[in-house]
Amino acid sequence: MNQAPPSPPSQASQVSPAPQAAIPSARAKPHTRPATPRWFALLGNLWRLLTTNRKIATGSGIVGFFVLVALFGPLFVHESPLSYTLTITQPPSAAHWLGTNQSGQDLFSQLVIGTRSSLFWSFLTGLIVVAISVTVGLVGGFFGGIIDDALSLVTSVFLVIPSFPLAIVAVQYFNHSTLTIALVVALTNWPWGARVMRAQTLSIRNREFVTAARASGERAWRLIFFEIFPNEIAIVAASFITTTIQVLLAVAGLEFLGLGDTTTVSWGNTLYSAYSSSALLQGAWWWFAPPGLCIALLGSGLALLNFGIDEIADPRLRELKRRARSPFGKALGRLWNRSAAPAEQSEHGQSAEGGAA
């Protein structure tokens, strides 16, 4: 029996089925943000720290300005601060922005070049003092016993030595150099920070986290510098800033008395030359006013930094500051809270809807 040949496939059957739309899986992973670089996070934390306190922000701006002048200012000064000209005791002008002294030397060049010298010796001496005080305070407070008694005795001896008279004697006996002044100030100012560090270490060394680290077999130097020392950063920063202010004033004061190195350019030497040449009687205010204002402004910036660090580190000062806030600040805070409340409620509502979905 003959069978009929199979019919050719129809056009509809030749068309491939349409691809179905991809249905998103309920277990799809949410979109994750790329990891933030570590240096960017550190900069963000630093910026947050600088902007949370007005005193720290103002002090950082003042000190940062002088640091920038010390680093890049000499690149824009094209005239030697010690070169002599014929324009003697001239007031500020377009050619000499801060005028000239009795020898015709440009005072703006001396002010900019002297910023580097003054900041260098102040910061270097502050670092030396902090290194000595931190080492002595941490070691004595952690180990105790004979080591603590010996270091406390040495600290008490150096504590009663007057730094300024000793610096005058040392400069007269050795040589008139800023290095001598800085060393004397460093050797006579570290006991104050060492006493504070020792007292703080005595209160921290028996806490739970230190005991746990000691029980896990950590060595003594790791307990000191990795467990105890990070909890005393605020004290170290305050000690460094205080020492920097003291060195700045001591060096400028001794140079003003003529006990510094007169061959170097600094703020104190500029004041000494103005005093010895009777600039005040001549009415040459541009000779002594700029370096004096720079010393006062830099000292004020460092003091504001110190006060701001104290407010952040001490909760009691933060509470007093919160209570002493002005009525305008309180009203502004209430207005900010009211404006931020609807935004927070909408965010919570969106998150609740997303979770329900």
* Domains located in the chain, CATH noted: 104-319 (1.10.3720.10)
- Contacts of 114 by beta carbon, 8 Å cutoff, 6+ apart: 81, 265, 266, 267, 269, 270, 291
pTM of the model: 0.72
Regarding predicted confidence, which is higher, 77 or 66?
66
Task: Please say if the pLDDT value at position 102 is more than 90.
Answer: no
Q: Is the pLDDT of residue 346 over 70?
A: no
Question: Given a cut of 80, is residue 34 above it in pLDDT?
Answer: no
> What digits encode the pLDDT tens for the residues 133-150?
999 999 999 998 899 999
Q: What is the mean pLDDT of residues 220-224?
A: 88
- What mean pLDDT is predicted for residues 199-209? 89
CA distances from 101 to 70, 105, 145, 238, 289 (A): 22, 6, 60, 38, 13
**Tokens 């015709």 sit on residue:** 104
Decide which of 69 and 344 is more confident. 69
Average pLDDT over residues 85-102: 86
**Does 353 have pLDDT greater than 80?**
no
Burial-class residue 324 by CB neighbours within 10 Å (0-12, 13-18, 19+). Answer: exposed
- Give residue 327's pLDDT band: very low, low, confident or very high (50, 70, 90): low
Of residues 243 and 27, the one with the higher pLDDT is 243
CB-CB neighbours of 106 under 10 Å: 24
Q: 43-52, 113-122, 328-337: which range is least confident on average?
A: 328-337
Indicate if the pLDDT at residue 28 is higher than 70: no
Residue 30 has pLDDT above 70, yes or no: no
* Rounded (5°) CA angle 250-304-61: 100
